[in-house]
Amino acid sequence: MDADTRAETPSQQRRRTGQSGTERGRQLDGVRMLIIGASSGIGEACARAAHAEGARIAVAARRVDRLEALAHQLNGAAHVLDVADYAAVKTVVRDVAENFGGIDVIVFTSVVVPLAHVEHVDAATWAHAFAVNAIGPAVVLRDALPFLSRDAVIVVASTHDVGRPRAGVSAYNASKAALDEILTSWRTEHPHLRVVRVAVGPTDDTEILRGADRDLLDELFERWEINGQASFEMSRAADVAGTIVSLIAAARANPSVITEVVKLAPCPGTPHTSEQ
């Protein structure tokens, strides 16, 4: 093993060797999994990581071309879904459950991040952020409830920043704070359900700032630096996904423990993907 190979992360090693989960003993063999927000970033990486561990995969989001290509690679099913269209959520959840004969795991990573100074956020923008980031997962959970297996695991992505919003992301932060309360209500009223809130930190290889106004972003970044909120360290999406898949496997293997909240932070000094 040379120095470069020794420095590899497990996810890089899997990509290099093409070693499948079968050869290592698969953690999620046959587990029926719906990943919403799987057309890019952490959701897509979760779909790939779970497939490598033997899960059966259904992916959902709005960009059909990406979803179909991913589903084809993973021998899974693609479902076009805007999570702010609550009638469509019901249909997709029912279709996935009927195809699989039930659902064991849901991972929700869909997100919208409107960038604007708080005084410029209009009512429609507030409403859309809440519709996608907070009400979306609540409706998914409601519609999935009749189809969930007894040991089902629900993972919903949140953020480190709840409670200390950065400048320019007020609608995102407020909706994530609401999401956290909604997940707490689910745990209170359905204590047998494994509802895991994963507070994600700054992560590379995602499209979370897709479409952002670069000038505004530069201006906001200066403000984040002044406030000590700029992030220079990043986790890799594949590693975040590997961690999420391990959490799901751990929850299924240890039924007397419910993991409620997990915070994922970047490991300092890890090179960004573009620097490798």
Ligand X SMILES: NC(=O)c1ccc[n+]([C@@H]2O[C@H](COP(=O)([O-])OP(=O)(O)OC[C@H]3O[C@@H](n4cnc5c(N)ncnc54)[C@H](OP(=O)(O)O)[C@@H]3O)[C@@H](O)[C@H]2O)c1
Residue 203 binding ligand X, by CB under 6 A: yes
Judged by CB under 6 A, the number of residues near ligand X is 28
Residue 83 binding ligand X, by CB under 6 A: yes
Q: Of the listed pieces 49-57, 86-94, 95-103, 203-211, which binds ligand X according to CB under 6 A?
A: 203-211
Work out how close the CB of 115 gets to ligand X at its nearest, in angstroms, rounded to a whole number. 13
Measure the CA–CA gap between 54 and 154, rounded to whole angstroms: 18
Q: β-strand 77-80 against 103-108: which pairing, if any?
A: unpaired
First-to-last alpha carbon distance for the chain, in angstroms, is 19
Q: Which of 93, 98, 94, 57 is nearest to 78 (CA)?
A: 57
Q: Of the listed pieces 21-29, 34-42, 143-151, 182-190, which binds ligand X according to CB under 6 A?
A: 34-42
User: Which is closer to ligand X, CB of 23 or CB of 79?
Assistant: 79
- Work out which of 63, 90, 142, 166 binds ligand X, going by CB under 6 A: 63
User: Which is closer to ligand X, CB of 53 or CB of 205?
Assistant: 205
Q: Which of 79, 43, 49 is nearest to 71 (CA)?
A: 79
- Work out which of 28, 49, 57, 81 binds ligand X, going by CB under 6 A: 81
- Site residues for ligand X, window 92-121 (CB under 6 A)? 109-112
DSSP codes, 71-122? HHHTT-EEEE--TT-HHHHHHHHHHHHHHHTSEEEEEE-------B-GGG--
Task: Give the dihedral sign, CA 151/157/159/165.
Answer: negative
Residue 62 binding ligand X, by CB under 6 A: yes
Q: Which of 168, 145, 28 is nearest to 97 (CA)?
A: 145
Residue 173 binding ligand X, by CB under 6 A: no
User: Which is closer to ligand X, CB of 147 or CB of 172?
Assistant: 172
Measure the CA–CA gap between 115 and 120, rounded to whole angstroms: 10
User: Which is closer to ligand X, CB of 27 or CB of 173?
Assistant: 173
Residue 78 binding ligand X, by CB under 6 A: no
Measure the CA–CA gap between 190 and 186, rounded to whole angstroms: 6
CB 201 within 8 A of CB 264: yes
Work out how close the CB of 5 gets to ligand X at its nearest, in angstroms, rounded to a whole number. 28
Residue 40 binding ligand X, by CB under 6 A: yes
Dig out the tokens for 48 from the structure: 């790939």
Work out how close the CB of 110 gets to ligand X at its nearest, in angstroms, rounded to a whole number. 3
Q: Hey, is 229 helix, strand or coil?
A: coil
The 212-241 contact track toward ligand X, x by CB under 6 A, reads ------------------------------
Work out how close the CB of 209 gets to ligand X at its nearest, in angstroms, rounded to a whole number. 8
Q: Which of 84, 63, 60 is nearest to 136 (CA)?
A: 84
Which parts of this chain interact with ligand X (CB under 6 A)? Answer: 37-43, 61-63, 81-84, 109-112, 132, 157, 159, 200, 202-203, 206-208, 210
